[in-house]
Amino acid sequence: MNKKVLVVATHYDDETLGAGGTLLKHKNNNDEIYCVFCTSASQPEYEKNYILKKEEQIKQICEAYNFNGIYFLGLKPAKVDIYKKGFLVQKMAEIFAKIEPNIVYLPFAYDVHSDHRIIFEIAFSCTKSFRYPSIERVLMMETLSESEFAPALANQSFIPNVFVDISEFFEKKCEIMQIYESELGAFPFPRSLENMKALAQFRACTYGGGL
């Protein structure tokens, strides 16, 4: 039976860094894939040309994944803490209720970026089985430049316990990530193609497979 899959992306590119290969695999398996982009660049914090460029990038991203549906919360980047949590929960709950997802991918609860931590808390509150009975699995994503900088504490470090073989889709994931050209940097910058491959190889070896 095909599944409905929802990825919650705090910022543009989180869906690709965190679950890009997995989303492509879901799509290849004829699952429905949906994305919530929580933050968006807006004036006066960002110039109009920058905003237009980001909008064009997101259009390309959505075409690349062939999402069944996309949603925008329109929150201010790096300022998610200015919103009341009740307001955020209501907005997120409306999306969960509309999609009725079976599998949900969330940011890691202890990512170093405060936006990620808040969005995790908000989205996780929308996964109660008695209110959202469609949900079968909830997983947290490892997002380069965020998850690896979580506190080096046993209960707050990202320690994966679910592995997905994306060997067939990794190159496509890298191609999609290059749409976000301004978010990529030269190695050893965390968001670099070399670092993406290094992490994928390391996780493959941890699991016992290959890439």
Phi, psi of 204 (to 5 degrees): -65, -40
Q: Check which CATH number belongs to the domain holding 195 and give it.
A: 3.40.50.10320
Number of compact structural domains in the chain: 1
Stretch 131-145: mean pLDDT: 98
DSSP string, 88-132: HHHHHHHHHHHH--SEEEEE-TT-SSHHHHHHHHHHHTT--TTT-
Which domain covers residue 27, as residue numbers?
A: 4-207
Stretch 89-111: mean pLDDT: 99
SS3 110: coil
The pair of three-digit structure tokens given for residue 45, joined into one six-digit string: 């914090």
pLDDT in tens, 183-203: 999 999 999 999 999 999 999
pLDDT band at 209 (very low <50, low <70, confident <90, very high): low
Residues 6+ apart with CB under 8 A from 87: none
pLDDT in tens, 16-55: 999 999 999 999 999 999 999 999 988 888 899 999 999 9
